Amino acid sequence: MTVRQTELEAIDRYWRAANYVSVGQIYLLDNPMLREPLAAEHVKPRLLGHWGTTPGLNFIYAHLNRIIRERDCDVLYVCGPGHGGPAMVANTWLEGTYSEIYPGITPNEAGMRKLFRQFSFPGGVPSHVAPETPGSIHEGGELGYALVHAFGAAFDNPDLVVACVIGDGEAETGPLAAAWHSNKFLNPALDGAVLPILHLNGYKIANPTLLARMSDDELRALFTGYGYEPIFVEGHEPMPMHAAMAGTLDNAFDRIREIQRAARSATGDIERPRWPMIVLRSPKGWTGPREVDGKKVEGFWRSHQVPVSNARGDAAHRRILEDWMRSYRAEELFDANGTLRPELQALAPRGEKRMGALPHANGGLLRKELVLPDWKDLALDIGRPGTSTGEATRAMGRYLREVIRLNEDARNFRLVGPDETASNRLDAVFEVTNRVWMEAIEPYDTGLARQGRVMEVLSEHLCQGWLEGYLLTGRHGLFSCYEAFIHIVDSMVNQHAKWLKTSAELPWRKPVASLNYLLTSHVWRQDHNGFSHQDPGFADFVANKKADIVRLYFPPDANSLLWVTDHCLRTWNRINVITAGKQPQPQWLSAEAAEAHCRAGAGIWEWASSDEGADPDVVMACVGDVPTLETLAAVDLLRAAFPDLRIRVVNVVDLMTLQSHSTHPHGFTDEAFDRLFTTDRPVIFAYHGYPFLIHRLTYRRRNHLNFHVHGFREEGTTTTPFDMTVMNELDRFHLAIAALQRIPRLAGRTTDAISTLEGELSEHHDYVRNHGEDMPEIRNWHWST
Amino acid sequence: MTVRQTELEAIDRYWRAANYVSVGQIYLLDNPMLREPLAAEHVKPRLLGHWGTTPGLNFIYAHLNRIIRERDCDVLYVCGPGHGGPAMVANTWLEGTYSEIYPGITPNEAGMRKLFRQFSFPGGVPSHVAPETPGSIHEGGELGYALVHAFGAAFDNPDLVVACVIGDGEAETGPLAAAWHSNKFLNPALDGAVLPILHLNGYKIANPTLLARMSDDELRALFTGYGYEPIFVEGHEPMPMHAAMAGTLDNAFDRIREIQRAARSATGDIERPRWPMIVLRSPKGWTGPREVDGKKVEGFWRSHQVPVSNARGDAAHRRILEDWMRSYRAEELFDANGTLRPELQALAPRGEKRMGALPHANGGLLRKELVLPDWKDLALDIGRPGTSTGEATRAMGRYLREVIRLNEDARNFRLVGPDETASNRLDAVFEVTNRVWMEAIEPYDTGLARQGRVMEVLSEHLCQGWLEGYLLTGRHGLFSCYEAFIHIVDSMVNQHAKWLKTSAELPWRKPVASLNYLLTSHVWRQDHNGFSHQDPGFADFVANKKADIVRLYFPPDANSLLWVTDHCLRTWNRINVITAGKQPQPQWLSAEAAEAHCRAGAGIWEWASSDEGADPDVVMACVGDVPTLETLAAVDLLRAAFPDLRIRVVNVVDLMTLQSHSTHPHGFTDEAFDRLFTTDRPVIFAYHGYPFLIHRLTYRRRNHLNFHVHGFREEGTTTTPFDMTVMNELDRFHLAIAALQRIPRLAGRTTDAISTLEGELSEHHDYVRNHGEDMPEIRNWHWST
């Protein structure tokens, strides 16, 4: 099928309009239609923006518009080179969505003027694709995640095609290089399609790109090896390029439909198809000035940002700009009011088919609440506190199994993780689902299938990116990860938090489901592994984000983990980080007690306290499963030594309760805080992570100078769990000694008790030196009073 | 060339010995030579370790030994599947290096017993390849960095071949997927070679791997596309596999030599060669139990860790273990003393050619100090403080130019960064060097050459990994990066910090050069970009690491940046993070003043203070270039309003001076701290990053309750630099208001002054709303008194 010449000419005009509107955004304060000669005062005093990638993005947009109109399909445009913000703004304005969302920016000359002025302007819009940009789920700042977001959007969206433009700069990043393998997880019968468009315009900021300098043969081999069928579109003459691009897109969409039709009518097994992808080679800064000041600009890195730098101050530069803008012949594209001519308007799709108006790009519009089980049905029967043992994450696995079962038909929940679902003891989910896997499946394989709610790949980047794409298009999910290695995606979490913060300030962006983490195999229980696996610092990183976005939960046992999981799955626009161990541990709270405790976020454990609700000698506070165990054991030691000691045990599940009420919505009022922690008693605080986070959160509290925090001091190796706590002085003996040293009423009477405890520690050290693993394993503890 | 059968049989025996010693480490407490029947008490009570990858690692080691002996070459073994720790320990013990480094672990039965016991044992050695492991530069915990470390080691080491084993799990990660492109930066004439060995044993923890399930055709295409010549070795029968591996390694090493010979004798341009790489398909858990409890183990993921789980408690399991160990026929491999038989000892290379003894793997042995210029020769002549303007990083670029010039012959310094050397204004370096680039170079390209000290790729992971590999093999370097995007490598920094901490505890590991960062294009000067580019949180992340490893520097101007850079390049075993802007800014310190100030780490700027060295009304403290400017401008405003105000200005360059002397070696004593910050006066503290870090560092100081810290509050967008400071209340007006509100002596007299300042702020807001970029740019400031 070839596209008629007249249609290609119309597309060329549309493209010119988008290019014109893009250049205008970068340069013009005024005179948007160039009705008068360009004067200095029409040019912005500070020129900010990226031209280089923009014409290519406009080119792709115009051609996708034709495909959508002709095929009446849903296409999501993921713009990897997100610094080409002018392109996405220009196109959504031309198609009308921009003016619908921002009525002040009208579809005429007055609107065009405002559109130009606001771009990369104080009080205006960012120069990158951002939440403010209609049609986008993808921030254009940090590079690497376009393709993985595209796949995340396509999963469980069988009618969606995600056209994913990947810049050749971004293609050098690790996450992008791994993301090509996402095709091994995409089921053509049940998921949508991703059409990667690798846009090789040759240059980064000041360098050629690796992929653009590779030969077509190497590129063909590379993408064939990744499992794609690459189609090349190369050139710089507009009309032949339009013909080639139109034909190639028809080809690619035909091929996608064919793959999907075959898979959706298949009766037997479906094999991984060879999906098409496009390699588009076009000049950087295409249609812009060829040379400026005698230096090569078009087709070179000098066109990356602002090709003519001094258009306000230098008449010759201004002439180059004016000639360039007039080369698009705006008068043929816009009517006397500065409105796109009707025959060009007709080239854009209608209504929600417009890429700027696609509901998937504003996923909150499509989000349906999950159907959740009653978690209490899955709660552990724990008897008296501390008398039974359970594995918290195993209980959570059973809860997630029910979530998957109840939402199977809705196909809107996925569990991602780097090959650790079973290792993290969530394997109950495999009773009702599988790991999705499109490679060969051998008869002896377990838990693999062409469909499944679990996605495992040894790349935290892919897990994170898939889930982000999935959430941003209106679905739900959870990422389970080894605690130490979640740092791999620090920067992705950072960018997602920024997206959420800005989105929440835009009334037209509807809330999306929260990004939920289970961090397990945590620092205190690295039975197999050593120092490399010991890092609880993700909480510190997350705590820097805006308070209305982040939550940090440390459920101390199975039932509290169930409550927290259930709660997190009901929230939106948040980043919920749940840290919980997977090893057998004593259980403390019945379902009812867990509910009351977790709902409060923190509270006194009266059954473990001996202050009768008032006037404690010391507050023993704890956050996290291992610190809770050690704290309760320390309380036992203290009471054995001084039976009349008035000890208060406070457990904190929701770390943000510690922060001031004015800083965080979950923060306790000072009165509530003081009721737990007193205003003047020593607080021995056992925390799961780096101690400073507690100081930081409690900094403004009255009693904070009496907080003595024990936590991870960056001491680790391969050793027993109990030895780990000793190395970091988080163990029962150190906690008890710390308490004895600080209780005024005991002054002068603690020498013997402390030396007994120190004796225990030195016995422990002897064990480590001499007996190794013969030493008692982590000493469990039974509430004995 | 084929290898003789007798030689292959000898290699097979050596391999069996390594496998035997590996299994022994995972299982045995005692009876290491199995001189008596295996009893329960001979088996460790807790079985920890990873068998699955180990036989493959041993297989490769044995074959590399032959290559080294025959060719007398230097081979560094980078063990990507680092959880196969038993293999590297076994082999370095067999070749003798282990006993030389750890004399307690003798090369006989007694030593073997200790070797077995200590593995993954409290007080023993980690189960992963770690600093404790001889011959390693690569921690075996977090996956993804084997190949990029290998390339880092190979650069500027023309006589070195780095054999890099990549597990098929690791091959799924992003950083690894990008690292294949490192061949585009390796010069065959001047650098060494990297021989990647992709070890496809088929499975991760509980899943098949993506690459192992790809067809040979797809793999061949993929690696051809990456620019390699893949050679396949596949099978499971030991003897044919030995023949295939020996022949393939000979092939590969011949090919490497041929490439190098051609490049090193070439007179014209050198093109990127097609380096060989090996795809080794062998069963996971090779030679281990085929089945346990009726379930497939060898050649399946069940062999990942401990294939026979209950060998202590279950006689049948113990029998499987005993049969397995006896299958290696240790009596044919070790003599009556448990010492490796001489004919097998002869298979290992000698002396420093042994892979466990290679000096490159203990890079501190090879490290030579850099020749550094006198930075004062490059200092800016600044006149009176605040009267001249300079670009700090541009001055640093001139300094680095001299570093490169002075060390050109030594070839031991590299500058890495993601395409930002020029953008970050370090471009003076291009006067003496180029960006290294092995792809095609076009006539209009600038700054590209086949050799050069600058490496640019749009992947922070590659920059970081190359530099780590380069430093760990005894060289020097600096990574310049946009501040926000350094989070991309948080987890890599984390692992490097752990490596440094542990290495410093091992007397045989010699110090390596520090890992130096320049973070620029920072949060306050994102003139082009928006919120996505605004994140100063890396300092918080780094501050969690061990105090003796990390340093955070915030030089306020060009000359102080020069001093700090010079200082960092002289240090070792540290992570130095320098944050400095690239934009024109007022200059404050002459070379002499900068030296005195930076050497102290923090101090009073008397020329900007009005307290005459005593009894200030308020301390105005600042960290970072923009906060310093705003602080000094605030001082001006304050003195204009209240001419008799006694203001002290304190500037902090070395952030760790704030921490207590007992916590950090650079920390001020309390006396010194109090001399700067007083014990009772309000301190208005303007900090470059998230305010809490200052609270955290000063937590134990007497005056800390009077610290009022202004910094980044996570408010960002595309706007002017000055507006950014206003949005975050770090600007001069907010700082001045904060001071006025807290100076007791002014109580009741500040209403007018504050309302004037508030008027300035509201005027600013009007500008942003109405005038946009017409508003005054960041207001520079001249010391006017």
Mean pLDDT of B317-336: 97
Q: Supply angle C-alpha B528, B530, B534, rounded to 5.
A: 110
CA nearest neighbour of B453 among B393, B516, B409, B519: B409
Mean pLDDT of A682-687: 98
- Which residue type sits at A540? D
DSSP A459: -
- By CA distance, what is A719's nearest residue in B? B122
Counting every residue written for chain A, the total comes to: 785
Any CB–CB contact under 8 A between A533 and chain B?
yes
pLDDT of residue A781: 42
Nearest to B225 among A174, A225, A491 (CB): A225
With H, G, I as helix, E, B as strand and everything else as coil, classify residue B371.
coil
Residues of chain B found within 8 Å of residue A209, distances taken between Cβ atoms:
458
- Which residue type sits at A269? D
More reliable by pLDDT, B686 or B45: B686
With H, G, I as helix, E, B as strand and everything else as coil, classify residue B234.
strand
Any CB–CB contact under 8 A between A209 and chain B?
yes
What spatial distance separates the first Cα and last Cα of chain A, rounded to whole Å? Answer: 84
CA distances from A552 to A122, A542, A623, B451 (A): 34, 8, 11, 49
Q: What is the average pLDDT score of chain A?
A: 94
Is residue B713 scored above 80 in pLDDT? yes
Any CB–CB contact under 8 A between A224 and chain B?
yes
Q: How many CB pairs under 8 A join A and B?
A: 355
Which of A58-67, A120-129, B316-325 has the least mean pLDDT?
A: A120-129
CA nearest neighbour of B203 among B128, B296, B132: B296
pLDDT of residue A122: 80
CA nearest neighbour of B742 among B706, B709, B710: B706
pLDDT of residue A65: 98
A528 vs B49: CB contact, 8 Å cut-off?
yes
B462 vs A205: CB contact, 8 Å cut-off?
no
Distance from the Cα of B182 to chain A's closest Cα (Å) equals 10
**Sign of the C-alpha dihedral computed for residues A486, A490, A492 and A498 taken in this order:** positive
A437 vs B141: CB contact, 8 Å cut-off?
no
From the candidates B718, B722, B728, which should be mutated to test the interface with A, based on the most A CB atoms within 10 A? B718
Mean pLDDT of A539-566: 94
Architecture of domain A601-779: 3-Layer(aba) Sandwich (3.40)
Any CB–CB contact under 8 A between B367 and chain A?
no
A541 vs B541: CB contact, 8 Å cut-off?
yes
Which of A435-449, B534-548, B677-691 has the least mean pLDDT?
A: B534-548
The CATH 3.40.50.920 portion of chain B extends over 601-779
Strand partners, A604: A650
Q: What is the Cα–Cα distance from B488 to B407, expressed in whole angstroms?
A: 30
Nearest to B181 among A210, A219, A490 (CB): A210
Distance from the Cα of B680 to chain A's closest Cα (Å) equals 17
Any CB–CB contact under 8 A between B490 and chain A?
yes
Mean pLDDT of A280-289: 98
CA nearest neighbour of B107 among B338, B329, B330, B351: B338
A contact residues 618-677, partner B, Cβ 8 Å cutoff: none
Residues of chain B found within 8 Å of residue A232, distances taken between Cβ atoms:
none
Any CB–CB contact under 8 A between A225 and chain B?
yes
Distance from the Cα of B2 to chain A's closest Cα (Å) equals 31
The CATH 3.40.50.970 portion of chain B extends over 5-357, 375-585
Backbone angles phi, psi at B191, to 5 degrees: -105, 170
**Sign of the C-alpha dihedral computed for residues A727, A731, A733 and A734 taken in this order:** positive
Distance from the Cα of B441 to chain A's closest Cα (Å) equals 9
Give B193-245 pLDDT, tens digit per residue: 999 999 999 999 999 999 999 999 999 999 999 999 999 999 999 999 999 99
Nearest to A141 among B437, B501, B533 (CB): B533
Distance from the Cα of A180 to chain B's closest Cα (Å) equals 10
- Which residue type sits at A402? E
Which of A12-21, A260-269, A760-769 has the least mean pLDDT?
A: A760-769
Per-residue pLDDT band for B740 (boundaries 50, 70, 90) equals very high
Any CB–CB contact under 8 A between A491 and chain B?
yes
Backbone angles phi, psi at B525, to 5 degrees: -130, 55
B501 vs A44: CB contact, 8 Å cut-off?
no
pLDDT of residue A546: 83
pLDDT of residue B301: 95
Per-residue pLDDT band for B776 (boundaries 50, 70, 90) equals very low
For B377-418, strand residue ranges (E) read 389-391, 413-417
Residues of chain B found within 8 Å of residue A429, distances taken between Cβ atoms:
none
- Which residue type sits at A409? D
Distance from the Cα of B26 to chain A's closest Cα (Å) equals 11
With H, G, I as helix, E, B as strand and everything else as coil, classify residue B744.
helix
Mean pLDDT of A256-265: 98
- By CA distance, what is B120's nearest residue in A? A718
Any CB–CB contact under 8 A between A40 and chain B?
no
Q: What is the Cα–Cα distance from A30 to A44, expressed in whole angstroms?
A: 8
pLDDT of residue A548: 85
A contact residues 289-318, partner B, Cβ 8 Å cutoff: 296, 300, 305
Residues of chain B found within 8 Å of residue A48, distances taken between Cβ atoms:
527-528, 718
Q: Give me the half-sphere count of Cα atoms (radius 13 Å) on the Cβ side of residue B368.
A: 9
Residue indicated by tokens 């417009």: A354
pTM of the predicted model as reported, rounded to 2 decimal places: 0.97
pLDDT of residue A777: 41
Backbone angles phi, psi at B51, to 5 degrees: -85, -40
Q: Is the ipTM of this complex over 0.90?
A: yes
**Sign of the C-alpha dihedral computed for residues B195, B512, B662 and B502 taken in this order:** positive
pLDDT of residue A307: 94
Q: What is the average pLDDT score of chain B?
A: 94
Residue indicated by tokens 């949060």: B523
Cα A32 vs. chain centroid, distance in angstroms?
A: 38
Q: How many CB atoms lie within 10 A of CB B703?
A: 18
pLDDT of residue B1: 57
* Most confident among A661-670, B683-692, B694-703 (mean pLDDT): B683-692
- By CA distance, what is B724's nearest residue in A? A122
- By CA distance, what is A218's nearest residue in B? B225
Mean pLDDT of B258-285: 96
Report DSSP letters for B617-641, one per residue: SEEEEEESHHHHHHHHHHHHHHHHH
Is residue B784 scored above 80 in pLDDT? no
With H, G, I as helix, E, B as strand and everything else as coil, classify residue B76.
strand
CATH topology of domain B5-357: Rossmann fold (3.40.50)
Is residue B766 scored above 90 in pLDDT? no
Residue indicated by tokens 């009596």: B331
Nearest to A178 among B130, B172, B488 (CB): B172
A contact residues 378-397, partner B, Cβ 8 Å cutoff: none
Beta-carbon contacts of residue B211 (< 8 Å; ≥ 6 apart)? B168, B171, B172, B198, B200, B219
Any CB–CB contact under 8 A between B173 and chain A?
yes
CA distances from B553 to B498, B560, B650, B656 (A): 21, 10, 15, 8
Q: How many CB atoms lie within 10 A of CB B679?
A: 12
Query: For residues B487 and A544, is the Cβ–Cβ distance under 8 A?
Result: no
CATH number of A375-585: 3.40.50.970
Residue indicated by tokens 């999705």: A436
Residues of chain B found within 8 Å of residue A117, distances taken between Cβ atoms:
772
Per-residue pLDDT band for A1 (boundaries 50, 70, 90) equals low
pLDDT of residue B771: 56
Share of chain B above pLDDT 90, in %: 88
Is residue B528 scored above 70 in pLDDT? no
B174 vs A170: CB contact, 8 Å cut-off?
no
Any CB–CB contact under 8 A between A720 and chain B?
yes
Any CB–CB contact under 8 A between A170 and chain B?
yes
Q: What is the token pair recorded at B677?
A: 């910050």
Nearest to A219 among B142, B225, B423 (CB): B225
A contact residues 426-465, partner B, Cβ 8 Å cutoff: 435, 437, 439-440, 442, 444-448, 456-459, 461-462
Is residue A608 scored above 60 in pLDDT? yes
Residues of chain B found within 8 Å of residue A113, distances taken between Cβ atoms:
none
pLDDT of residue B775: 40
Any CB–CB contact under 8 A between A144 and chain B?
yes
B contact residues 402-431, partner A, Cβ 8 Å cutoff: 419-423
